[in-house]
Amino acid sequence: MVTRREIRVLDTPDALFRAAAEEFGRRASAAVQQHGRFCVALSGGSTPRSLYRLLASGAIPSLPWQKTLIFWGDERHVPPDHADSNYRMVQEALLSRVALPSENVFRIKAENPDAAGAALDYEKILTECFRLKPGQFPSFDLILLGTGTEGHTASLFPDSAALAERQRLVVSNWVEKLHTDRITFTLPVLNHAACVMFLVSGRDKAAIVHELLNPNQNAGQLPAQMVQPIDGELLWFLDKDAAGT
């Protein structure tokens, strides 16, 4: 069950990203202290770019980059230098600006024309990094997530096949509305995290945030509502615009 649920509303986007950076730093230091490394899965899209830039700026001096392992919760089906690539966004905003060993960066190889093959490849990486036995799921110290205006998270979109996946770790997922494949963590991986942090900013997200945080309206069936860590913390970091206040 969710061990701790917290909704934090910050006055401005700057305050939001600063609070998120401080939380990121706390989790990183605690993870390194507890088990010698910090395994974090980053989200893509545009919102988290400001957080990644802030982390790269040295705002959290204590960040143990040498012991941080970077993963992605999802990736578009494009090469790493494509404008839509989540890897490229993180590379430009963060990785190119911090002293993080390249062997600690685990990119989804989405240039593979076979999206299902890219997903299988990433599953192998997770299995190796977390020394998983068959049927086990990795427990990330932190998974960052966002949400779309229709309630998707990572690349788990409403009514998409991947949403029902309960065995696999990473799958390719055809997204009809975007007419493209994505590669994404499955819900069990998200829900095995020690901590999931949703980071949502902007007035355009106010309606979906209200819907997501008031599940009685649709019985909690939107993808972002289905993220309920089995034995972990669920954090929603919002600015006032996204919170609709």
Output the CA angle 81-127-72, nearest 5 degrees.
30
Site string for ligand 6PG, 57-76 (x = CB under 6 A): -----------------x--
Q: Is 139 in the site for ligand 6PG (CB under 6 A)?
A: no
Task: Name the minimum Å distance from CB 37 to ligand 6PG.
Answer: 23
> Binding to ligand 6PG by residue 86, rule CB under 6 A?
yes
The backbone torsions φ and ψ at residue 6, rounded to the nearest 5 degrees and listed phi first, read -140, 135
> What's the min distance (Å) between Cβ of 124 and ligand 6PG?
21
Contact 2, 232 (CB under 8 A): yes
Q: According to the binding rule CB under 6 A, does residue 154 interact with ligand 6PG? A: yes
Torsion-angle region of 45 (φ positive above 0: left; ψ -120 to 50: alpha; else: beta)? left
| Nearest-approach distance from CB 64 to ligand 6PG, in angstroms | 25
User: What minimum distance in Å lies between the beta carbon of 178 and ligand 6PG?
Assistant: 10
Which of 112/153 has CB closer to ligand 6PG? 153
Given 80, 148, 188, 244, the residue binding ligand 6PG (CB under 6 A): 148
What does the per-residue mask of binding to ligand 6PG show for 187-216, with x meaning CB under 6 A?
------------------------------
Tokens coding 118: 């890219």
The answer to the question of residue 167 lying near ligand 6PG (CB under 6 A) is: no
CB nearer to ligand 6PG: pick between 46 and 66: 46
Pick the closer one to ligand 6PG by CB: 44 or 229.
44
Query: What does the DSSP 8-state code read for residue 134?
Result: T
**Angle at the Cα of 199 (from 132 to 50), degrees rounded to 5?**
105
- By CB under 6 A, what part of segment 29-48 binds ligand 6PG? 43-47
Closest CB to ligand 6PG among 68 and 85? 85
**What are the DSSP E strand ranges found in the chain?**
2-10, 38-42, 68-72, 74-76, 142-145, 170-175, 180-185, 195-200, 232-239
* Among positions 85, 112, 153, 173, the unique one binding ligand 6PG when judged by CB under 6 A: 153
Tell me the two tokens of residue 174.
């055809």
Q: What is the β-pairing status of strands 2-10 and 232-239? A: parallel
Alpha carbon distances (Å) from 53 to 17, 61, 63, 100 = 10, 14, 14, 14
Specify the 3-state DSSP secondary structure of 199: strand
Instruction: State the residues that interact with ligand 6PG by CB under 6 A.
Output: 43-47, 74, 86, 146-148, 152-155
